Copies of this chain bind each other. A is one copy, B any other.
């Protein structure tokens, strides 16, 4: 597949929004805004972080201004980099800035950065004056294939990840895969865990393609990245279209996340990146599924092999006792009527929700 501009759409009820995927297309941001909103003197506010801003802010700003939107350097908030800053404290700082800038209800908020920036900008857009328009410009692999699509927005609470948030769909998503070239290897690999997740839970052919093209992807070959990002977005968009607010099938996207969130929470969001924890969590989910007889040993083996070949640290922290696991997982948002709900693979390309896992079954794989 050639590296060309691609456009997908997410359809949710009456609403529909585009995902523009390309390479070196960040300078089309102004055009995307013009296509999405009528050209007007609306104010555009950008949320980013210092690392991303150094690389991409001036391109984004020039494009926005050239398209005729109102945007000055005062309409930028750079939040500190890192999951620990996805907090109510940062939320409050941003709100103070919006008040100071008198951002009105018809303003547009642009998220320029990774998952932390996108989740925060989305929650700010969901709640500023009861909701304003926002556009996602994800610059990390994790954000491009996962968090920028689907409208989940949130901040963390010391008691758990993403506990405070809202569903608020972006008006458009602009993905420039060239921004992935600037990603540190650890961040790139963390994001790739979500790509593998789509293969496991939804698409056996894609999983096989990932096995075959692993080295190209890890070398960040542009064609391979376009395919991986596009297919991931397609799967995510299809799932979200079916179940926006996670009443059913959308829960399957949390494969590996119940375990992963416990690892992140236990290590206070400082030592493991989200995707790293998800990779370890997917292996634990696979082991649990195999132990319970829900997935074949052969499929479980392929999943484990792809995770190992990708280079993940798959051993959870040694100091996590079964008691700690239970206590952390019981706080998960997926808990329903007191039962922990596990998303487990049932084959390459499919997964299901299990809420009758016994303590014995779980303890067997935790040991």
Closest CB-CB distance, A12 to chain B, in whole Å? 13
Interface assignment of A41: CB less than 8 Å from any CB of chain B: yes
**A160 engages B105 (CB within 8 Å):** no
Chain B residues whose C-beta falls within 8 Å of the C-beta of A336 in the assembled complex: 104-106
In the complex, what residues of B have CB within 8 A of residue A106's CB?
336-337
| Nearest chain B CB to A103 CB, angstrom units | 10
Question: Is the C-beta of A293 less than 8 angstroms from some C-beta in chain B?
Answer: no
Q: Is A95 an interface residue (CB 8 A)?
A: yes
A88 B92 Cβ-Cβ under 8 A: yes
Q: State which residues 105-134 of A face B: CB under 8 Å.
A: 105-106, 126-131
What B residues does A166 contact at CB under 8 A? 126-127, 130-131, 166
**A137-180 vs B: 1/0 string, CB under 8 Å?**
00000000000000011100111101111110000000000000
A65 at the interface (CB under 8 A from B): no
Give the interface of A toward B (CB within 8 A). Answer: 40-42, 88, 92, 95-96, 99-100, 102, 104-106, 126-131, 152-154, 157-160, 162-167, 245, 330-331, 333-338
Say whether A129 contacts B333, CB under 8 Å. Answer: yes
Asked if A95 meets B163 with Cβ closer than 8 Å, knowing A131-B245, A152-B130, A331-B102, the reply is: yes
B102 engages A163 (CB within 8 Å): no
Contact of A131 among B131, B158, B159, B167 (CB under 8 A): B167
List the B side residues contacting A131 at CB < 8 Å: 166-167, 245
Give the chain B neighbours of A153 by CB distance below 8 A: 130
Residues on B with C-beta less than 8 A from A41 are: 337-338
Which residues of the partner chain B approach A100 to less than 8 Å between Cβ atoms? 159
Taking the closest CB of chain B, its distance from the CB of A147, in whole angstroms, is: 13
A-B pairs with beta carbons under 8 Å apart, 29 shown:
A41-B337, A42-B337, A88-B92, A95-B164, A96-B159, A99-B157, A100-B159, A102-B330, A104-B333, A104-B336, A104-B338, A105-B333, A105-B335, A106-B336, A106-B337, A126-B166, A127-B127, A127-B164, A127-B165, A127-B166, A128-B163, A129-B164, A130-B152, A130-B153, A130-B162, A130-B167, A130-B245, A131-B166, A131-B245
Q: How close is A265's CB to chain B, nearest CB, in angstroms?
A: 11
Contacts of A334 in B (CB 8 A): 105
**A246 nearest CB neighbor, chain B only:** B130
User: In the assembled complex, which residues on chain B have CB atoms less than 8 Å from the CB atom of A333?
Assistant: 104-105, 129-130
* 7 shortest interchain CB distances as A-B pairs: A99-B159, A130-B165, A129-B333, A104-B335, A127-B164, A105-B333, A106-B336
Instruction: For A95, list chain B residues within 8 Å (CB).
Output: 88, 157, 163-164
What's the Cα separation between A41 and B158 when bound, in Å? Answer: 27
A152 to B333, CA, bound (A): 25
A164 neighbours in B (Cβ, 8 Å):
95, 127-129
List chain B residues, Cβ under 8 A from A126.
Answer: 166
CA distance A185 to B326 in the complex (A): 53
